[in-house]
Amino acid sequence: MSDMAVTDTFSASLERWREAYAKTPERDARFETLSGEPIEPLYSPEEPPPTVGVPGEYPFTRGVYPSMYRGRLWTMRQFAGFGTAAETNKRFRYLLEHGQTGLSTAFDMPSLMGHDSDHELSLGEVGREGVAVDTVADMETLFQGIPLDQVSVSMTVNAPAAIMLAFYVVAAERQGVGPAQLSGTIQTDILKEYIAQKEWCFPVDPAMSLVTDMIEWCAAEMPRFHPVSISGYHIREAGATAAQELAFTLKDGFTYVEHALARGLDVDDFAPRLSFFFNAQIDFFEEIAKYRAARRIWAREMRDTYGARKPESWRMRFHTQTAGVSLTAQQPLNNITRTAIEALAGVLGGTQSLHTNSFDEALALPTEEAVQIALRTQQIIAHETGVTNTVDPLGGSYFVESLTDQMEARAYEYFAKIDELGGMVDAVKRGFPQREIADAAFDLQTQIDSGERKVVGVNAFNEGGEDTTEILRIDAELEAQQVARVKQFKAARDGDAVADALDAIDAAARDGANLMPHLVSAARAGVSEGEIVAQLQSVWGSFRELPVF
């Protein structure tokens, strides 16, 4: 079914938009230029192509809400996590005090890989590049004094995401906040891990089943929470092109939908709570076109291929993070400019939430000063530039619309190749997206090494004095404190309750039952993340990737 065949006349769409816009509250802001000229909520020709449409309506090319930032700004999230839960709690409070509107949690490597801090493989890595969370007690400390029914929380964790979600639910429960009151996102995108980030605990098939468990459980128990954030960010950071990021991310999303449908779920019961996470790279207009194409493709496929009936199921909402891989250790203050340009692309592309990288992140975890500059970058875009005063200010640009069409066409070319391989799961097992990304990364680095592609401060304009940037150093003592904390916690538990909880997890995994209720019970009993992962690995085994050359 073509878009033209199912699209009303544009005049009817525009009238519906006016009615919908009239019902949405506007921010307390003056919508005018610095010279005092009034700015209209939407600029549009009388009859644009049906693939462009109006904001808040299928195919959502121009944005997922009628009023976009005239009604409400994006959520400002700064990724944070280091050392112990207590240390990260202080950073969370600092960010909230300085105007951040949502929390975003970075976990350390042992937590991401399913190891407790006292595991031998965790030595030297505890709290180094994120916060160490081993037990529900750590999760309680992480959010101590932060009302979880009032703050949206994002958690970037994938292979053990179900376990961290269980810890979070129980930590909130002990605040007196039920699952239905919690809002936020947990990443959970395990296909992306096999493709790009390489942090896994289990083989592909049982890992996909665990993702589906989360989608099913959250649809029933956590209606305000996003159980999966389908992530192109790390695919792009691994070296993918914009078109590859778009295609592989969307195909991952469609695969999660297919698994949920195979479980017997109704698409409209879970699709509105699926969210996305994209990179904002330095090629300004290409990034904007990528976001517009993503919304359009998702809407079309959800409606026409997967039979979603609700517009909420067609609507792609996404978080954006500026490109970590674009940051340079050389002349790091240049990164402030890079981040501002990338953040502006995310805003003009219609993001729902945004993280801006700190200028020192190519050197270390960010200092408080660097984090504040990154947050102020978002606030300047929101409150000083005027780009939020009208909906989709770049809509109708010949260049942007042409790039959007090109990006969409490239995505469908990749979809066809993946389908020929038997779908995304089989393509991942055979290393197809991994090879495509490796080739793209090699081509890009070759261009940089040859000087064909200039990187300011690296292979061009690299004169200057010695860098004196102060960096954040993680106190090595924090690791010893965390190891002692988890050992003390384990020693004080009811051993019989822990054993019973692990037996229940083992039985559910062997029977193919939804694991989420058992993981929540295990969290209440004080079972650690590492113990749960080890129990599941005894049933499912582990995963070893075939090398890609």
Residue pair 227/169 in contact (Cβ under 8 Å)? The answer is no
Instruction: Examine the pLDDT at 6 and tell me if it is beyond 50.
Output: no
Average pLDDT over residues 10-30: 87
Q: Residue 424 and residue 251: Cα distance in Å, rounded?
A: 7
37 contacts: CB under 8 Å, gap ≥ 6: none
Token representation of residue 443: 């081509």
Please list the residues that pair with 185 across neighbouring strands.
154, 226
Q: Residue 407 and residue 83: Cα distance in Å, rounded?
A: 41
Q: What is the pLDDT of residue 5?
A: 40
Mean pLDDT for the chain overall: 93
91 contacts: CB under 8 Å, gap ≥ 6: 80, 81, 82, 368, 371
Beta strand 225-226 pairing with 318-322: unpaired
Token representation of residue 143: 């959010």
Instruction: Examine the pLDDT at 123 and tell me if it is beyond 60.
Output: yes
DSSP string, 269-322: HHGGGEEEEEEE-S-HHHHHHHHHHHHHHHHHIIIIIS---SHHHH---EEEEE
Token representation of residue 345: 């692309």
Confidence tier at 544 by pLDDT (50, 70, 90): confident
Q: Which residue has the higher pLDDT, 20 or 10?
A: 20
- Locate tokens 């961290």: which residue? 164
Instruction: Examine the pLDDT at 48 and tell me if it is beyond 70.
Output: no
> Secondary structure of the chain: what % helix, strand, coil (to 5)?
50, 10, 40
Average pLDDT over residues 534-539: 98
Average pLDDT over residues 42-51: 77
pLDDT tens-digit readout, 310-364: 999 999 999 999 999 999 999 999 999 999 999 999 999 999 999 999 999 999 8
Instruction: Examine the pLDDT at 203 and tell me if it is beyond 70.
Output: yes
Q: What is the pLDDT of residue 471?
A: 81
Token representation of residue 447: 């261009």
179 contacts: CB under 8 Å, gap ≥ 6: 169, 172, 173, 221, 222, 225
pLDDT tens-digit readout, 464-504: 766 778 887 878 888 999 999 999 999 999 999 999 999 99
End-to-end distance of the chain based on CA atoms, in angstroms?
Answer: 40
Token representation of residue 218: 């959250």
Q: What is the pLDDT of residue 1?
A: 38
Token representation of residue 328: 């340079």
Give the distance from CA 434 to its chain's centroid.
Answer: 20
For the stretch 433-439, contacts whose Cβ atoms lie closer than 8 Å and that sit 24 or more positions apart, written own/partner, are 433/195, 433/235, 433/244, 433/248, 434/194, 434/195, 434/196, 434/548, 435/548, 436/240, 436/244, 437/195, 437/196, 437/235, 437/238, 437/239, 437/240, 437/244, 438/239, 438/548, 438/549
Token representation of residue 335: 């990164």
487, exposed or middle or buried, with CB in 10 Å at 0-12, 13-18, 19+?
middle
Give helix 334-348 / helix 368-383 axis angle, nearest 10°: 40
Average pLDDT over residues 120-127: 94
Residue pair 160/529 in contact (Cβ under 8 Å)? The answer is yes
Q: What is the pLDDT of residue 548?
A: 67
**For the chain, what is the radius of gyration of the CA atoms?**
23
Q: Residue 221 and residue 217: Cα distance in Å, rounded?
A: 6
Instruction: Examine the pLDDT at 3 and tell me if it is beyond 70.
Output: no
Average pLDDT over residues 150-179: 96
* pTM above threshold 0.85: yes
> By mean pLDDT, which of 35-39, 346-350, 446-450, 479-483 is the weakest?
35-39
7 contacts: CB under 8 Å, gap ≥ 6: 13, 50, 53, 58
pLDDT tens-digit readout, 269-287: 999 999 999 999 999 999 9
Question: Could you give the count of Cα atoms lying within 13 Å of 55 in the half-sphere of its Cβ?
Answer: 28
Element (H, E) at 329: none
Token representation of residue 102: 């949502």
Q: Residue 206 and residue 187: Cα distance in Å, rounded?
A: 17
Class of 73-450 in CATH: alpha beta
Q: What is the pLDDT of residue 32?
A: 86
Q: What is the pLDDT of residue 466?
A: 66
Q: Is 504 helix (H, G, I), strand (E, B) or coil?
A: helix
Q: In terms of Cα–Cα distance, which of 154, 172, 150 is closest to 76?
A: 154
Q: What is the pLDDT of residue 248?
A: 98
Question: Could you give the count of Cα atoms lying within 13 Å of 411 in the half-sphere of its Cβ?
Answer: 27
Domain boundaries defined on the chain? 73-450
Q: What is the pLDDT of residue 8?
A: 58
Amino acid identity of residue 529, one-letter, is E
